[in-house]
Structure 1
Amino acid sequence: LLLVEVALVVVFDIAAVTDPGAQGLSLHAFNPDTLTGAGVGTALCFCIAAFLGFEQAPVYAEETSRPHVLVPRVMFLAVAGVAVFFALSSWALTVATGPDKIVGTAQEQSAGLLFFLTESRLGDTFTDVLHVLFVTGMFAALLSFHNVVARYAFAMGREGLLPAAFGRTSGTSGAPGTGSLLQTAVSAVVVIGFAIADDKPNGDPTQPVLHLFTWGGNIGALGVIVLMAAASFSVVAFFVRRGAAAAQGVRLVTSTVAGLALLVIAGYTVKDFDVLVGAGPDSALSWVLPGIIGLAAVAGVVQGLILRSRAPERHARIGQGNEAFQLDKAASS
């Protein structure tokens, strides 16, 4: 279903290019000047959010036959494929409306921009099918995130960061069932909380959904930005501590540049967070929501320090994954 959805978007891209707006085939969308000015932080955070998921490949490393070959291959293919697809499709949107009208049309149509443009070029039936596939695509994305979170819970249970029950698989399937149930419970609590807290100012039933999507989505994007920055700097620390800085010079330079760039994006994201969540500049949401990431980071550091002082052996196993698990299993047997 997801592949069919992508194929239909490509059909729209072709239709937009063959039937452009009043300004014709303009390449204005690729002008670097569009990356300056107000709102750049919002755009960068949205781009990171659009790419969320490409970093999930290592989560499945233990379930592949050649993880050192397949995981990097999948990640590079995912980044390249999604980048090309998003870039061309976004450009097609500007071609369909014209570069001078894309902002106004997007503000007017909001999330329905693509459907608005397909209806005029490809008809009602095509647009109806695209609506259905949009829903199935969202389900596929949610299922993917659910699986990854369940595996994170499994890894944390196995390494002593969560109760040991989360570090065991279910039955003969080998699936992290306890982690899956935890993810389901957390999701249910959050969704029900947003539904109950809705004050229905205009009787609009979509408001809690929009709040949950914008608040949760942007908090998640900011969290992933911070995590990727930390991972970039950890690459530098890993090789420097092992005396391999000279041999891994290229990796250290690229990781440092990536980490610094991600920190800049994180700074812009926090600065423009009121825009991202649709709140006013004086709204408490502009600092309360990003503060959740800060609190999580502090809590993680504190937990790590406590674990290192009280259970150094367990602390040393963090991040070792299946290798440490298999060594412990062999030692006990």
Structure 2
Amino acid sequence: MSSDPFFSDGGLRRGRLGTAHLVFFTVAASAPLTVLGGGVTTMYAVSGNMGAALGYVLLAAVLAVFATGYAAMSRYVANAGAFYAYIANGLGRAGGVAGSAVALAAYNAIQIGLYGLFGAIMKDFMTAKAGLTLDWWVWALLAWVFIAVLGVLRIDLNASVLAVLLVLECVAVLIFDLVAFAHPAGGSVTTGGISPGHLFGAGFGAVLAFTIASFTGFESGAIYSEEVKDPRRTVARATYIAVAFTGLFYAFSAWALTVLTGPENAQQASIDAGPGVIFGALEQYSGVVVADIANVLFITSVLAALLSFHNGVARYLFALGRENVLPRFLGSTSSRSGAPIAGSLIQSVLAVVVFLAFAMTGRDPVIDLFTWLSGSAAVGVVLLMTLTSAAVVGFFRGRGGPESAWQRAIAPALGTVLLTAVLLVLLFNFDALLAPDTAGYLKWLLPAIPVVAGVLGLIWGGVLRSSRPDTYRRIGQLDEEGLHEPGLHSAPEADRWAASHR
């Protein structure tokens, strides 16, 4: 394949991304304006929990504990398969294959589900503003073409597109926040929306379920670790910045909504108007033009998330193809852009087949396609982080190095316990993410998707161990030339580097 003018076996292009790029990818994946307009309003409507804003701070704290060990391990493992490589080096190679299967199920699910959300909001906006009435899947198809094209171009170009979209949507969210605090219900700002006593009350489980979904995309930094300028520092730095920004920004904006409506009225306002709580306030207090711009940015925020998840899935497929865990052709990159072209094209084909299947069967793009798949993805992401946190403990056991006991064992062990608790809460409250009339069996089937994927991955890992031992030994490792710096090592190389620096 190396002779092909479009495909190359040369690997991903290195040194193109810095800390800011990784922050953009990570935060863009969670789509701030989408979280505020869709996630926060739905969270209040479903849970009725007045203190729900603090849920973002709580989960950010859990992720910060997890990130401590994760960041320490990122100095030794740089792999486009991200959590897959971490799990393989900490819990065993078969476990790594299981983790990769969970990741592919989760990230494909959320990426494909977003096409339903995009199609629905684009349809409503164009009908209202231009009188153009087209089915949601037509708009989804146009977005799919845009994402498919960008997915095979240079990664720094993708990052630049995401940066512009992310900055603009954050500005729109800040304008809403200012409007809310300038026009509080009852004439004064209330702190009821950030009261711990309100958070740990009725609806707490549903709050955790929705806040977890808002942090989907947390792994993005590690996915691009082979393409950054300084992997020893960049991934860790970007992860901490993204967690802090996302948790505080979402919490502040969720609180702003309760200030605007009054904490006791947030649920009913969200039930009655949904995203209209946000855009109606902008139109009332900032004018129609500002509200229309915010609506456009709401649409582009979903587009930004689509692009971020598409790139993540493509790189997972690239890593698995490069190591022969999946067919080798998936490990090819574009000879022109350095993008993982085969993985990108495969993801594009899968996405269009699934969302068109939902369209042909008459399923609702939001209630069915988006909600079902994003809920399933949330379970998969938390499961993946739980396994990764446990893998950090396994990786550092018996190894020397400059890391403290807190980084090597205490924080990752605590993170594993906390994430397990979050996972259990999500599983037992999964029905909070579904419409009341949704078939009961889906409460169990949808969260089972990433779990079943993990089991199948574990079985495939066992098959590779017995039938292709050479491939099995390379799982989660890097064997490309040029990876000589600390932070760009496979696990065996990391051991040698640590030993030489004792």
TM-score normalised according to structure 1 size: 0.90
Query: Hey, what's the Cα distance between the residues in 1 that align with 2:439 and 2:223?
Result: 39
1:168 corresponding residue in structure 2:
332
Cα 1:188/1:245, change in 2 over 3 Å: same
Q: How far off its partner does 1:33 sit? A: 1.8
Matched, 1:11 2:167: no
2:453 corresponding residue in structure 1:
296
2:208 corresponding residue in structure 1:
44
Q: How far off its partner does 1:19 sit? A: 1.8
Cα 1:266/1:69, change in 2 over 3 Å: same
1:204 corresponding residue in structure 2:
none
2:405 corresponding residue in structure 1:
249
1:142 corresponding residue in structure 2:
306
Query: Hey, what's the Cα distance between the residues in 2 that align with 1:286 and 1:280?
Result: 12
Cα 1:175/1:245, change in 2 over 3 Å: closer
Q: Where do 1:177-326 residues align within 5 Å?
A: 177-198=341-362, 207-240=364-397, 242-243=398-399, 248-251=404-407, 252-279=409-436, 283-320=440-477, 323-326=478-481
SS in 1 for 2:186: coil
Q: Could you report, residue by residue, the CA deviation over 1:95-115 in whole angstroms, capped at 9, with x for unpaired residues?
A: 111111111111111233211
Q: How many residues align?
A: 318
Q: Is the 8 A contact 2:189 2:259 kept in 1?
A: yes
Cα 1:280/1:271, change in 2 over 3 Å: farther
Q: Could you report, residue by residue, the CA deviation over 1:148-168 in whole angstroms, capped at 9, with x for unpaired residues?
A: 111111011001121110101
Q: Could you report, residue by residue, the CA deviation over 1:79-110 in whole angstroms, capped at 9, with x for unpaired residues?
A: 11112211111111111111111111111112
Matched, 1:35 2:199: yes
Query: Hey, what's the Cα distance between the residues in 1 that align with 2:419 and 2:244?
Result: 19
Name stretches of at least 5 consecutive residues in structure 1 with no aligned partner: 200-206, 329-333
Q: How far off its partner does 1:23 sit? A: 5.9
CA RMSD of aligned residues (A): 2.1
1:118 corresponding residue in structure 2:
282
SS in 2 for 1:22: helix
Matched, 1:127 2:291: yes
Q: Could you report, residue by residue, the CA deviation over 1:272-292 in whole angstroms, capped at 9, with x for unpaired residues?
A: 112212245971111111111
Q: Which runs of 4+ in 1 moved over 4 A?
A: 243-248, 279-282
Q: Is the 8 A contact 1:194 1:212 kept in 2?
A: yes
Query: Hey, what's the Cα distance between the residues in 1 that align with 2:399 and 2:346?
Result: 41
Query: Hey, what's the Cα distance between the residues in 1 that align with 2:403 and 2:216?
Result: 31
2:120 corresponding residue in structure 1:
none
Query: Hey, what's the Cα distance between the residues in 2 that align with 1:23 and 1:306?
Result: 66
1:56 is matched with which residue: 207, 220, 236?
A: 220
Cα 1:237/1:127, change in 2 over 3 Å: same
Query: Hey, what's the Cα distance between the residues in 2 that align with 1:56 and 1:266?
Result: 20
Q: How far off its partner does 1:39 sit? A: 2.7
Q: How far off its partner does 1:2 sit? A: 2.5
Q: Is the 8 A contact 1:233 1:259 kept in 2?
A: yes
Q: How far off its partner does 1:172 sit? A: 2.1
SS in 1 for 2:424: helix
SS in 2 for 1:100: helix
The one-letter amino acid paired with 2:481 is Q
Name stretches of at least 5 consecutive residues in structure 2 with no aligned partner: 1-164, 484-502
Q: How far off its partner does 1:210 sit? A: 2.9
The one-letter amino acid paired with 1:277 is L
Q: Is the 8 A contact 2:325 2:471 kept in 1?
A: no
Tell me which moved more, 125-134 or 32-41: 32-41
Give % identity. Answer: 38
Query: Hey, what's the Cα distance between the residues in 2 that align with 1:123 and 1:305?
Result: 61
Q: Is the 8 A contact 1:105 1:113 kept in 2?
A: yes
The one-letter amino acid paired with 1:167 is G
Query: Hey, what's the Cα distance between the residues in 2 that align with 1:165 and 1:144?
Result: 22
Structure with larger RCO (C-alpha < 8 A, sep 6+): 2
Query: Hey, what's the Cα distance between the residues in 1 that align with 2:287 and 2:333?
Result: 48
Query: Hey, what's the Cα distance between the residues in 1 that align with 2:439 and 2:197?
Result: 29
Query: Hey, what's the Cα distance between the residues in 1 that align with 2:392 and 2:245?
Result: 25
Q: Is the 8 A contact 2:386 2:420 kept in 1?
A: yes
Tell me which moved more, 215-224 or 103-112: 103-112
1:202 corresponding residue in structure 2:
none
